[in-house]
Amino acid sequence: MLKNKRVLVTCGPTWVPIDAMRVISNRSSGKLGQMIAKDFSEAGARVTLLEGPVECPLRSKSVRVIKFSFFDELAALMKKELKRKYDICIHAAAVSDYQVKKPKRAKLDSGHKNLRLELVPTEKLVHIIKKFNPGLFLVAFKLETKITELIAIKKSRSLFREGRSSLVVANSFKGKTYSGYILDTHHQILTHKRSRRGLSKILVKIVKEHL
């Protein structure tokens, strides 16, 4: 049963600053995370959505939405929210893997003929979730440019090992083509869907069965 279960969902892109005006971002639309938040809410869960700088923000009376733009904002929000007693976390945000080592506080001049940025890894937020709440049911996401059963199994291993995920969604999209696999801790593929809507609906059902 999902009625009154507390669910934390993250979605959308994250920014990291280059200077006071410019950012590095990614192409995440946040649509899948928004669908998941609404579907869990419709199933009776109490849902909080941490939503990045998406083009079409979620409008919902039943989902508590907290906005963020930058990686540091998402990291702080997750650490704050995870101190609450959530039952489930669906970590679908496209988190920046790298950040500029020394972003400029002022706006860089535009006349540079060559401009080099040194990037360093960001903190792996998916790896800290269970540290805040060891009993949480965690669904992690792995986005690839191309996905097959073998790639899904291979790429999800670290999320089960280091992130201690309960389920992993390994997916890819190109244009209007979507493909997503849901895997369990035994690296078994539970389902394969070719639409965000289909994956969101079946994810709610699978999580309910695993609780």
pLDDT at 153 over 90: yes
pLDDT at 18: 96
pLDDT at 33: 98
**Domain membership flag for residue 1:** no
pLDDT at 174: 81
Q: Token pair of 206, please?
A: 């699978």
Q: Token pair of 84, please?
A: 């609450």
**Domain membership flag for residue 111:** no
pLDDT at 16 over 90: yes
**Domain membership flag for residue 33:** yes
**Domain membership flag for residue 110:** no
**Domain membership flag for residue 108:** no
Count of domains for the chain: 1
pLDDT at 126: 96
pLDDT at 142: 97
Q: What CATH number corresponds to the domain at position 45?
A: 3.40.50.10300
**Domain membership flag for residue 109:** no
**How far is it, in rounded angstroms, from Cα 184 to Cα 167?**
5
Strand intervals (E) in the chain: 6-11, 16-17, 23-24, 46-51, 63-67, 88-91, 98-100, 119-121, 137-143, 167-174, 177-184, 189-193
Task: Record the pTM.
Answer: 0.95
**Domain membership flag for residue 189:** yes
**Domain membership flag for residue 80:** yes
Domain span including residue 200: 6-103+116-210
